[in-house]
Structures are given as C-alpha cells and as structure tokens.
C-alpha cells in the first residue's frame, strides 16, 4: 500500500504548465539573414594534438572549429597540412570537376535523361579533400552526396553517367537509383538509400581489418540529419568499444531536406561533441576549407592506423543547392542563406589560396573550368550512346532476376519467363535480348 | 456515425488525406501529426501542408530522422492519451521503427490487459511507379498483416482515403495506413507509356467537405460482375479495371480497403457467385498477402471454385530502377491471368 500522498491528486500549485520545445530555424523564406550568432573562430587557433593522444585531449576540438585558410587566403596554424602546390592543384581540379559534373547531371535530369539527381554544391571539400587524405585502398562507406570521392579517386565519369542514366552499360544493371554508385575496385562501398545504415557497416569493416591485422582503415559519411538514426549511435558504441580503426564523418550542411540541423540536436551541442560521450576523438572542422578538411582527415586516418582508434569529424558546411532535383528549397529557407554563408565557397577559397601562393591564376582557372565542362560533356555524349533512362537501351530483362540469390531458383526463372512474355505481348516486334 | 455533409468537390488523393488530417485535428485536440519534414514544409508529398500553420507547432512538428524514435514516441504519446498520426516518409524506411511497431505498439493493449493502448495511425506512401528505385518503391504490407494487434489499411480513391484515414485516426488500435503514391495525383491504368488521367475526371474523387467515415474492415465492390472475382487493393484496382474494360470481361472487382481486419464475407460471397478468383498485389509474390487470401478462399469456397485461384503479383526481386515498369504487375500480366481464368 502506498503511504505517501496520491500524486494524481496532488495539486500542482502555481507551477506554469509544461510546454514543448519545437526547434525553429533562424530564417524562413523572405527573412533577412544574419549569421552573427555563429561562433566562427579565426584560423590557426586550435592546437593539433599528437595523433595518438588520449581522446580527451581532443575535447576542445569538438566545440571549436579547425580552420586553416583565413580571409587573406593564407594558410596558418598547426593544422596547416603544408601540401605541395601540385597536390593543391589536383585537389582544386577534382573539386571543380565535381561541380561541373553536378551541373551537367542536374540539367540532364531536367531534360528527362534520368529520374533524379543530387548535387553537392558547396560541400565538395568534405568528400574531395577527405579522399586526398586517405589511402586509395582505404574503404569508404559514403552516403549519396559524396560523388566527389569517386571523382577524386579517378573513377571514369562515363561510368558514373551510365549509372545515372540506368542504361545498358550501367554496371549496376539499372537497379539502383541514379547516384547510388558502387565500385569495389575503387574501394567505394555500395550506397544505400536507407540513411545511416552504412555507419555501423563501416565500423564492422574496420573491426575486421583490425582482426586480420590489415593496415587499411574504413571511413563513413552521414548527413547531420541522419546522425539522429539509431544506426549512428550503434556505430559509435561499437567503434568505441572495439577501438575500431575508422573515421566517421558527419557532414553538417545545415539542412536535411526541409528540416534544419536543430532537428538532429544541433541546438544543444555540436555534432563533434557526441564523440566526447563515447570517449572517442572528435574534431569539428570548417567544411568549406579544403586544407582543414584534409588536415583533420589525415590526423584521424593516422590515428586509426596507429591503433589510436576511431575519430568523429563534423564538417561544418552549407548545402548551397536543393536537397535533390525533387526539392524546392525556396519553400522552406531564406534565399539569402546561401549568399550570406560566412564560410564562403570551398572551391573559391582553395583557388584564392593557390593564387596567393603564386601557384595559380585566374586565367588558369578559367581555362581549367572550360576544359572540365568539355570533359564532362564528352563523357555525357559517350554515355548517351548507351542510352538514357526509359528509352529502351537498358539491360536485358533477364538481369532483373539475377543476383537476387547466387543461383537462380525455379520460381525466379519462371517469373523471368513471365516478364519476357509480357514484353513480347506488348511489343510483338521486340526480340528478347 | 456519418454526419450530414454539405458540398462535394473533386480532389486528388493527397488533398483528401490532407483534409482528413485537418478535419481530425479540428475535431480532436489530441490528434498530433509529426514526422520528417511534415511540419513547416508540409511533407515531401505535401500531405501535411498547412497543418502546422493551422494547428501550431505543438501539434504538428518536424522530427529527427529516426523512425525508431518517431514510432517509439508515438507509442508513448498514445499511451498518454493522444492520437498520434506519425508519417514515415517512404514505407521503405519503416524498418528502423519495426521493433517499436511489432513488439510494442501491436502488443501494448494485450500485455497491459487494456490498461494502455497505442491508438496511432502510421501514414506512409508505398508502392512503385515513380522511378524511386529499390529504396522508394516497396510494398511491405504483408509484414504488418502478419503481426497480431496491427490493422493495415490501403485506400484506392480520394473519397476512401479521407474516410478511411478518419476512421483509422478514431480507431483505438495501431493502424498502418499505406498510401499508394502512384495514384496520389490520378488513377493509374498500368500503362507507363500512356498519360495519367487526373483524379478530376475520375470516380472516387468526389470528396465531401467536413467529417465522414469509411469503416475499417469493409470492402468495396468496385463493379459487380459474374465472370470472376478480382480481389485487390490500392493501385492494382485501377489496373484491374482497365484490363477488364479492355477485354470486355464482366468481372466483379473487390477493393479490400483494409487487409486486417479483412472483409472475408464480401470476398466469400463474390467467389461463391462467380466461381473464379484472381488476386492481385504489387508486393513480391512469396509470402505476400495474396497467399493468405488464396488460402482463405480455398478454405471457404473450395466446392464453388471452377478454376485454380490465380495470383498476380510483383516479382520476387527488389524493385529495379530502370525496369520498374517491367516489375510492376501491369495489364499484360493481369491480362494473361484473366485469359487463363476465362478459358478454365
Ligand atoms: C531511413 C531513412 N529515412 C528517411 C529517408 C528519406 N530521406 C532521404 S534524404 C533525407 C534527409 C537527409 O538529410 P542529411 O542526413 O542531413 O543529409 P543531406 O541530404 O543534408 O546531405 C531523408 C529524410 C531515407 N532515405 N532513409
């Protein structure tokens, strides 16, 4: 028997009623934009601890922001990776190519050549500069906005476009949504449309590499919105418990479709700070600063390789374009957000830096941009020879039933015959491929 | 308890769903709507457009991308006494929330002997036809019909979508409300190479203003006929209608509307009358709801059957992006089954 007062009957006195907090972004369509609330520390401020330091030493890096390039386009501080000009130019080129590719594919979707496309405009550094800091045989577990990895790893553009067009040369046989690439040869794990699922998989891959005494590490990317998924936390726990050699990236581009980062918890803490609770290393980095992204990734990769364990990197950036070709961001955010973004554009910043070093010029940039446009155009033409979505040049019908299982079971063979018969019934002149 | 309704307008399905939510939020202050992008933006398919403006952020809000959290929170809210109507952006993403649905929502009443209930309605667009590839096209309804304690509802017209959704929200049990996204904006005949007819010209799009219900567990006879019974739901009803029209088949077409609870009476009566049964769904064949329907018909109508029961379904493969229209149980596949039944 309860002896105390019955809580259900206890008067609440003059306490105010409880109220629910629903996060609200700072600006909506039509609002002027003022980013002065953002705490953006100057470059060169944060220390660069030893790569094998205890995780707690990175705590200041989790709420601060690692930055290398300043407003004067010079590199400063302990995180300056001191890359040689040739590497910088290659990085710039890969980022510019990613953007040229995005622009062309976006137009392709609008022209009805494919069903769907997703740009990564403004976020090129978070994939390209990261990739430059990894070894070519490190396994990457990307999300859908990391086309820059494939481009940085030299994957043929035509192959990417074949996949986007789901045509007869698409090595994924027209099964995946455009942009959901897969390339084992380039150590690029197949992309899932189900968010965050690749995160624990990357940790598992890294654990396996450790079990085998391999030297390869794993990396994964997730959007800040997707970091709310349970998979994110499962991955963090496993990474911490097994000290897995993995680099976990959160690309905080401020928006998850129409939901601002507050809906993933950004109002309370940075995403990098989540590392603290798990006892792993964490770094928050200016995601529009290619040098800072490179340096942080390099630091984390070296740490993982030295058995120092996992690192969580938050890339603080901005999604300059819509979520996808199916999205209209003007319906939910201020048009001025993009122009006012205080961390600038990653390509412009790297270009300016190279010019400042006397290793690049506006003329060279112009010539390169023109060359890249042609390069993408040529790749597109090449891919179009293999067909565009919905225009008949797709994989043979039978392939639809292959790879469901290792061997084709009887019921799928029967169903394949059915599909081919249907096709013939509808187009009697058609011959099975 | 249907109330007097005033005007009748033609709406498309997404508008009808939006209206049902408006009506229910107005009538019952315990109805809350949430999910990824549903608040300010109104959902990626715009099903919740305008709701936050009308009812405030405490009753209509965006959530983290965390289906387990969305459904788990809905279970708790339901236990508190609210009527949550969470949205899962695509049915393909319901899996992170499955444990909350299957182990928790479905059994809350049972395990607490009625002390707690989970009166939630999980809305989610399902099915293919929009070139969504394998992660935006699945039809997972059979998973839910297998779980004791859940109800599974699938509308086929704007009129039904509104009336069924209102019933689902009023229902004290957890309801999975799957919306065939292919027919959000108009019926689909199954021909990818023909333009989609807008709802404005189609039956079932006359949607009364205000409150009305379409009861759960009651099938709709889409058209009466003698030649065979066609049992389907959602998008497949429209395809079946097109096929029977083209072939001049006098079929009785039954739209189940709810899979659980199932209106077996209407099915049984029809099959006993026609002696032939064709079952259609878009989901993969093996272990699909068609198997259950077929067993039920066999158990109850065996001595009346004049031909083997026919099942037309999607294939047992994931939904392939570029061959989506070949996967889809279209007019040819259904036509063949109809022919076989007619010959039998
Ligand atoms: C499990 C799951 N839930 C929902 C979705 C639908 N969806 C696709 S992208 C997206 C937003 C993701 O935002 P974020 O993680 O921030 O990445 P960003 O698009 O900004 O790069 C959502 C909700 C999905 N693909 N998978």
Q: ipTM of the predicted structure?
A: 0.83
Torsion of CA A27, A147, A238, A318, to 10 degrees: -20
Checking if the pLDDT of B3 tops 90, the result is no
Q: Is residue A60 within 6 Å of ligand 1 at its C-beta?
A: no
Here the tokens at position B232 are: 């389907």
Cβ of A99 less than 6 Å from ligand 1: no
* Ligand 1 center from residue B126 Cα (angstroms): 17
Burial class (CB in 10 A: 0-12, 13-18, 19+), A102: buried
Q: Is the pLDDT of residue B267 over 60?
A: yes
| A166: contact with B, CB 8 A cutoff | yes
Tokens of B241: 């209608």
User: How far, in Å, is the centroid of ligand 1 from the Cα of B145?
Assistant: 27
How is residue B243 written in tokens?
A: 């096929």
Residue A221 structure tokens: 């990317």
Residues of A within 8 A of B58 (CB-CB) are 19-20, 22
CA of A143, closest atom in ligand 1: 21
The pLDDT value given to residue A8: 58
Distance CA(A366)–CA(A361), nearest Å, equals 9
Predicted pLDDT of residue B143: 97
For residues A361, A365, A371, A375, the Cα torsion angle rounded to the nearest 10 degrees is 140
Q: What is the pLDDT of residue A102?
A: 98
- Give chain B's radius of gyration (CA, Å): 19
User: From the CB of residue B55, how many other CB atoms can be counted at a distance below 10 Å?
Assistant: 18
In this prediction, the residues of chain A whose per-residue pLDDT falls under 50 are: 1
Looking up tokens 């045509």, which residue turns up?
Answer: A167
A389 and B CB contact within 8 Å: yes
Nearest to B104, CA basis, from B93, B95, B116? B116
Q: At what angle do helices A157-165 and A85-110 cross, to 10 degrees?
A: 20
Nearest to A400 among B93, B135, B326 (CB): B326
Locate tokens 């961390």: which residue?
Answer: A343
Residue carrying the six token digits 């959007």? A223
Residue B249 CA, ligand 1 centroid: distance in Å: 45
Q: Is the CB of A257 under 6 A from ligand 1?
A: yes
State how far residue B319 is from chain A, nearest Cα, in angstroms.
Answer: 7
Would the pLDDT of B1 be above 50? no
A171 contacts chain B (CB < 8 A): no
Q: Which of A138, A66, A68 is nearest to A282 (CA)?
A: A66
Q: What is the mean pLDDT of residues B98-127?
A: 93
Q: Where are the alpha helices (DSSP H) in B171-257?
A: 235-247
Distance, in Å, from the CA atom of A395 to the CA atom of B136, rounded to the nearest integer, reads: 21
C-alpha–C-alpha distance, residues A399 and B86, integer Å:
38
B134 interaction partners in chain A (CB closer than 8 Å): 175-177, 193
Q: What is the pLDDT of residue A390?
A: 85
Residue A254: helix, strand or coil by DSSP?
coil
Q: Tell me the C-alpha distance between B287 and B293, whole Å.
A: 11
Q: Does A332 touch chain B (CB under 8 A)?
A: yes
Question: In this structure, are residues B47 and B22 in contact, taking their beta carbons and an 8 Å threshold?
Answer: no
**DSSP character for A41?**
P
**How many contacts, defined by CB atoms under 8 Å, are there between A and B?**
148
Q: List C-alpha distances in Å: B301 to A326, B124, B205, B264.
A: 48, 34, 34, 11
Q: Which atom of ligand 1 is nearest to the CA of A229?
A: 1
Residues paired with residue A139 on neighbouring β-strands, in sequence order: A218
Q: Which pLDDT score is estimated for A11?
A: 64
Nearest to A39 by CA among A60, A61, A65: A65
Burial class of residue B307 (count of CB atoms within 10 Å of its CB; 0-12, 13-18, 19+):
middle
Give the whole-angstrom CA distance, residue A172 versus residue A181: 8
Residue B121 has pLDDT above 60, yes or no: yes
Distance A181 CA to ligand 1 centre (A): 17
pLDDT digits (tens, 9 = 90+) for B48-95: 999 999 999 999 999 999 999 999 999 999 999 999 999 999 999 999
Between positions 135 and 194 of B, the ones with CB within 8 A of A are: 135-136
Across the interface, do A115 and B321 touch by the CB < 8 Å criterion? yes
Q: What is the pLDDT of residues B294-325, one digit of tens each?
A: 999 999 999 999 999 999 999 999 999 989 98
Ligand 1 binding pocket includes B171 (Cβ within 6 Å): no
pLDDT at position A139, please? 96
Domains along chain A with CATH numbers: 55-384 (3.40.50.970), 397-426 (no CATH)
- Distance of residue B263 Cα from the nearest chain A Cα, in angstroms: 30
Environment class of B80 (CB within 10 Å of its CB; exposed 0-12, middle 13-18, buried 19+): exposed
CA distance B157 to B235: 9
Task: Tell me the chain A residues in contact with residue B37 when contact means C-beta distances shorter than 8 Å.
Answer: 257-259
Distance between A393 CA and the closest CA of chain B, angstroms:
10
| Other C-beta atoms lying within 10 Å of the C-beta of residue A432 | 12
pTM score of the predicted model: 0.91
Indicate whether residue B36 lines ligand 1 (CB < 6 A). yes
Reading the block at residue A331, the tokens are 């319906």
The number of beta carbons lying within 10 Å of the beta carbon of residue A8 is: 5
How far is the alpha carbon of B1 from chain A, nearest alpha carbon, in Å? Answer: 34
Whether residues B315 and A256 touch (CB distance < 8 A) is answered with no
* Contact with chain B for residue A401, Cβ under 8 A: yes
Residues of B in contact with A327 (CB under 8 A): 44
Catalytic residues of B, which ones? 67, 136
Kindly state the percentage of chain B with pLDDT values over 70: 98
pLDDT at position A3, please?
A: 58
- What was the pLDDT predicted at A430? 81
**Which residues contact residue A390 at a Cβ distance below 8 angstroms, ignoring those fewer than 6 apart?**
B322
B176, containing H or E segment = strand B175-180
The residue whose two tokens read 């995403």 is A271
- Name the residue with tokens 């380039």: A186
Question: Is the pLDDT confidence value at B277 over 80?
Answer: yes
Give the span between the Cα atoms of B222 and B211, in whole angstroms.
23
B91-106 average pLDDT score: 94
Q: Is B99 on the interface with A (CB under 8 A)?
A: no
Q: Could B65 and A264 be called an inter-chain contact, meaning their C-beta atoms sit closer than 8 Å?
A: yes
CA pair distance A73, B99, nearest whole angstrom = 51
Structure tokens, A184: 């084992």
């Amino acid at each position: 028997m309860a002896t105390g007062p019955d809580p259900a009957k206890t008067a609440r006195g003059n306490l105010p009623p409880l109220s629910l907090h629903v996060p609200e972004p700072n600006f909506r369509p039509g609002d002027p934009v003022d980013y002065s609330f953002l705490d953006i520390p100057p470059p060169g401020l944060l220390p660069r601890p030893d790569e094998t330091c205890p995780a707690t030493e990175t705590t200041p890096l989790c709420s601060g922001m690692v930055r290398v390039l300043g407003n004067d386009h010079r590199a400063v501080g302990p995180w300056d990776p001191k890359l040689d000009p040739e590497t910088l130019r290659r990085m710039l080129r890969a980022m510019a190519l990613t953007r040229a590719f995005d622009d062309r594919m976006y137009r392709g979707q609008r022209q009805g050549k494919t069903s769907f496309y997703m740009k990564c405009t403004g976020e090129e550094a978070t994939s390209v500069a990261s990739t430059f800091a990894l070894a070519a045989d490190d396994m990457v577990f990307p999300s859908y906005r990391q086309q820059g990895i494939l481009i940085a790893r030299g994957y043929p553009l035509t192959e990417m476009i074949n996949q986007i067009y789901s045509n007869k040369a698409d090595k994924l046989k027209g099964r995946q949504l455009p942009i959901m690439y897969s390339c084992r040869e380039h150590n690029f794990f197949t992309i899932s449309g189900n968010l965050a699922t690749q995160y624990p998989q990357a940790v598992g891959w890294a654990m396996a590499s450790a079990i085998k005494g391999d030297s390869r590490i794993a990396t994964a990317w997730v959007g800040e919105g997707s970091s709310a998924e349970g998979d994110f936390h499962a991955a963090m726990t496993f990474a911490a418990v097994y000290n897995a050699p993995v680099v976990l990236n959160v690309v905080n581009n401020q928006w998850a479709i129409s939901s601002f980062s507050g809906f993933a918890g950004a109002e309370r803490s940075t995403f990098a700070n989540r590392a603290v609770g798990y006892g792993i290393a964490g770094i928050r980095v200016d995601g529009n600063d290619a040098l800072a992204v490179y340096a942080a990734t390099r630091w984390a990769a070296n740490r993982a390789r030295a058995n120092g364990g996992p690192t969580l990197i938050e890339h603080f950036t901005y999604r300059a374009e819509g979520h996808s070709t199916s999205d209209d961001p003007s319906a939910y955010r201020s048009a001025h957000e993009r122009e006012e973004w205080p961390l600038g554009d990653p390509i412009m910043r790297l270009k300016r830096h190279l010019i400042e070093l006397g290793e690049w010029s506006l003329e060279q940039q112009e010539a390169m941009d023109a060359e890249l446009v042609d390069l993408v155009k040529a790749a597109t033409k090449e891919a179009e020879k293999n067909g565009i979505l919905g225009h008949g040049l797709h994989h043979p019908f039978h392939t639809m039933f292959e790879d469901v299982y290792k061997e084709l079971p009887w019921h799928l063979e029967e169903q394949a015959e059915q599909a081919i018969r249907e096709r013939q019934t509808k187009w009697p002149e058609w011959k099975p491929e | 308890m249907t109330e007097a309704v005033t005007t009748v307008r033609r709406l498309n399905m997404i508008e009808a769903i939006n209206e049902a939510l408006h009506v229910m939020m107005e009538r019952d202050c315990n109805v809350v709507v949430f999910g990824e992008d549903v608040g300010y933006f109104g959902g990626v398919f715009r099903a919740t457009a305008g709701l936050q403006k009308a009812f405030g952020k405490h009753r209509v809000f965006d959530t983290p991308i965390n289906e387990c959290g969305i459904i788990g929170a809905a279970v708790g809210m339901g236990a508190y006494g609210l009527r949550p109507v969470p949205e899962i952006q695509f049915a393909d993403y319901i899996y992170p929330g499955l444990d909350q649905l299957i182990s928790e929502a479905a059994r809350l009443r049972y395990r607490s002997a009625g002390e707690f209930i989970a009166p939630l309605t999980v809305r989610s667009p399902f099915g293919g036809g929009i070139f969504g590839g394998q992660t935006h096209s699945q039809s997972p309804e059979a998973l839910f019909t297998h779980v004791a304690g859940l109800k599974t509802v699938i509308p086929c017209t704007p009129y039904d979508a509104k009336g069924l959704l209102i019933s689902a929200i009023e229902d004290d049990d957890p309801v999975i409300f799957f919306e065939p996204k292919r027919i959000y904006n108009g019926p689909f005949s199954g021909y990818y190479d023909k333009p989609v007819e807008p709802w404005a010209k189609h039956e079932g799009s006359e949607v009364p203003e205000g409150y009305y219900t379409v009861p759960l567990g009651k099938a709709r006879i889409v058209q009466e006929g003698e030649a065979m019974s066609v049992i389907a739901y959602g998008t497949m009803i429209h395809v079946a209608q097109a096929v029977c029209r083209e072939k001049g088949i006098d079929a009785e077409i039954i739209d189940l509307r709810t899979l659980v609870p199932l209106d077996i009476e209407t099915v049984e009566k029809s099959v006993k009358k026609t002696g032939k049964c064709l079952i259609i769904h878009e989901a993969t064949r093996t272990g699909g709801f068609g198997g259950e329907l077929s067993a039920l018909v066999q158990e109850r109508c065996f001595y009346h059957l004049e031909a083997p029961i026919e099942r037309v379904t999607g294939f047992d493969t994931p939904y392939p992006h570029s061959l989506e229209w070949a996967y889809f149980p279209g007019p040819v596949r259904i036509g063949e089954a109809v022919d076989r039944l007619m010959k039998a």
